[in-house]
Structure 1
Amino acid sequence: MTIVPSSLVEQPRLASPPPAGPRKESGWRRRDRRWGYVFVGPQLIGMAIFVLVPFLGSMVLAFASWDGLSELTWVGFDNFISQLQDPLLLRSILNTLLIAAITVPIGLGFSVVIAVALEKLKTRTLYLVLFFAPVVTSTVAVAMIWQQMLRADGVLSSSISKIFGIAPPDWLGDPGLALISVCIVSIWASMGLNVIIFLAGLQNISPSVIEAAKLDGAGALGIFWSIRLPLLSPIIFFSSVIAFISSLQTFDVVFVLTANAGPDNATRTIVYHIYDLGFGRFEFGPSSAAAVILLLLTLVITFIQFGVQKKVVHYEDGAE
């Protein structure tokens, strides 16, 4: 018997892989992609028409002078310089920052307390509906109702006058009280959404963590301050960012609640200032410049919040 070396035996040839190239897409995948474009298309078209085009237009008008009828002329940074020197813009920025500084911490604080209280209730559906009703109600309707309540002869002023025996406060006519009135309405109108968000966050906390703290002798206040609040801090941070951006865009409450931004421009906000320049005086260049300043102010405040959150926000997985 002759043994043939394996090196001399002809090895079977393996089939060579097919040449690389674009894979043919199946028919059902093409149909699926086309239907995806059909469903996403209206949203993209709407964003392009009502968001992207106005944004680009305002960026162009910020460097031009135009009243809507005459020929557009380029003025460079003159609109920004004139606006930064305008006392009305500076007053608007101060009022807007005051509204944000008052409404955000107070609104979020009340929302956390209410969410903790509702968590203890077994039947809280009615309370959630009552708190959430202002969120889904038209802001114009809310402001009109509060306007009637805050009048000098309204329900709130009359009640204060009868209880404390003083002259009814002029909430909408006094420069100091007008801004506080806007803050009250803003807090009341936005509290329901934050309550829902915080309640969901509290229910997501593991009961075993709370039970372990109770076994260690922690009281209700200690559990809230040392466990619930730190675990809820990411949601509080998210809500604070949204609330600050919303406060910087305050307009409809001021427009309806107070006439011409209140007495002595006490409630004049940046967005109302933009509206007044653009649609009151038809100065679209300075109005667009003020809108760009608002955008930059919003970005700066948001970046500051993201910088602070690294020190005050607690994440369970350690990620920031």
Structure 2
Amino acid sequence: MSITTRTPARPARLRDGPRAPGGRAKRRPRREREGAAWVFLSPWVLGAAVLTLLPMAVSLYLSFTDYDMFEPPSFVGLRNYTQMFTEDPRYWRSVTTTLLYVVIAVPLQLALALAVALALKSVRRGKGFYRSAFYAPSLLGASMSIALVWRALFNDGGTVDDLLSRAGLDIGGWVNQPGWALLAVALLTVWQFGAPMVIFLAGLQQIPTELYEAASVDGAGRWRQFVSVTLPMLSPVLFFNLVLQTIQAFQVFTPAFAVSGGRGGPADSTLFYTLYLYDRGFTASHMGYASAMAWVLLLAVAAVTAVLFRTSRSWVFYAAEEDR
């Protein structure tokens, strides 16, 4: 009887290329892999260079020039900056108005967003509907149409004025009162609390229920649980919302433009920084001056953000640091 032997089949060659002496497929060269990555990143890199970096470079150059958008720019050095800080009282009014707006609007918006998030956390039915309903103002509030409706509500004889008059508070139209116009714009920002609310709600759902159970066993009430458990565990999310909303508040434009008719009135009470920048650049055709204002705003926002990050070390709690 003869015994037939079969030659073992050769393993199929891998698609990656020839095999190394040890039997492993050769890896593609590093430069080839990096080249493929840059091919996929090229649309973003091109867009960032053309639409962001190049306009920033042009704006920085224009900030040192006298440019009216009709004649070629002429180099004037630091004259725009010195005029801004020493010769323009309206500039400092715009700075004061913007800072006051940030101090009023951001804390109120975050407090309302956190309160609604805490209320929605305990809702069992219809949570998706309520979340969408409260988030809708964040999508609509930045439009000019909503800002015009808001002006009509707070105008003389508007809905708010009528309701307050029936309650015995005859204030008049808020948008026509220098002491109330800024508050009307701030309330529009507070009304757009949907985005930070959703982030707060996501953070609340990540807090372990065991912490609340342990606090309850120790005799802590709802307020004590909120102060000792919720706020420390939610502090990273609170810090994120604080930075994000502060940066957005410094750039507010549409509500102020709609309420004041683009002039910052009454009595410059709604003369926000970006509104005055728009007035200098596009109304007065001082584009060089407006470019200088834009760069000062960029540096100011960066400084405020750096201060927030610096001070966060004393009040932001990270669970990973506690485990070390």
TM bin, normalised by shorter chain, reads 0.7 to 0.9
Does 2:111 align with 1:90?
Answer: no
Alignment match of 2:120 (pick from 101, 108, 118): 118
Aligned pairs, number: 294
Report the equivalent of 1:12. none
- Residue 282 of structure 2 is matched in structure 1 by 279
Instruction: Give the whole-Å Cα distance in 1 for the aligned partners of 2:117 and 2:257.
Output: 31
Q: Distance in 1 between matches of 2:227 and 2:27?
A: 58
Q: Which residue is 1:160 aligned to?
A: 164
Alpha-carbon deviation of 1:288? 0.8
Q: Distance in 1 between matches of 2:144 and 2:227?
A: 38
| Matching residue's letter, 2:50 | I
1:216, distance to aligned residue in structure 2 (A): 1.3
Query: What is the distance in 2 between the residues matched to 1:317 and 1:168?
Result: 52
Shift of 1:141: 2.4
Per the alignment, residue 4 of structure 1 pairs with none
Runs of 4+ in 1 over 4 A off after TM superposition: 22-26, 36-39
Please give the alpha-carbon distance, in whole angstroms, between the structure 2 residues aligned to 1:245 and 1:221: 30
Given that 1:152 and 1:168 are in contact with CA atoms closer than 8 Å, whether structure 2 keeps it comes out as no
Partner secondary structure for residue 318 of structure 1: helix
From the superposition, tell whether residues 306 and 24 of structure 1 become closer, same or farther in structure 2 (CA, over 3 Å). Answer: closer
Give the Å deviation of 1:314.
Answer: 1.1
1:143-182 to 2 correspondences below 5 Å: 143-164=147-168, 166-182=169-185
The amino acid of 2:61's aligned partner reads V
Map 1:63-142 → 2, pairs under 5 A: 63-85=64-86, 86-123=88-125, 124-137=127-140, 138-142=142-146
Q: Deviations over 1:181-229 (max 9, x none)?
A: 110001112x011110001000000111111111111111111110101
**Inter-partner Cα distance in structure 1 for 2:128 and 2:245:** 25
Aligned residue for 1:246? 248
Q: What 5-or-longer segments of structure 1 have no aligned partner?
A: 1-16
For residues 147-168 of structure 1, give each alpha carbon's deviation from its aligned partner in whole angstroms, at most 9, with x where no partner exists: 121111111111111122x435
Aligned to 1:313: 316
- TM-score by length of structure 2 reads 0.85
1:50 corresponds in structure 2 to 51
Q: Aligned to 1:268, which of 257, 268, 271? A: 271
How far apart, in 2, do the equivalents of 1:69 and 1:304 lie?
A: 40
Specify the code of the residue in structure 2 equivalent to 1:110.
L
Is residue 2:211 matched to residue 1:215?
A: no
The Cα RMSD (Å) is 2.2
Q: Give yes or no for contact 2:264–2:271 (8 Å, CA) kept in 1.
A: yes
The code of the aligned residue for 1:244 comes to T
CA drift of 1:73 comes to: 1.3
Amino acid paired to 1:151 = N
The 1:183–1:75 alpha-carbon spacing in structure 2 relative to 1, beyond 3 Å, is same
Question: Aligned-pair distance for 1:263?
Answer: 0.8
**Alignment check: 8 A CA contact 1:134 1:142 kept:** no
Contact 1:153 1:168 survives alignment (8 Å): no
Q: Tell me, in whole angstroms, the C-alpha distance in 1 between the residues paired with 2:162 and 2:288.
A: 45
Are 1:297 and 2:272 counterparts? no
Structure 2 equivalent of residue 11 of structure 1:
none
**TM-score calculated relative to the size of structure 1:** 0.86
| Kept after mapping to 2: 8 A contact 1:83/1:89 | yes
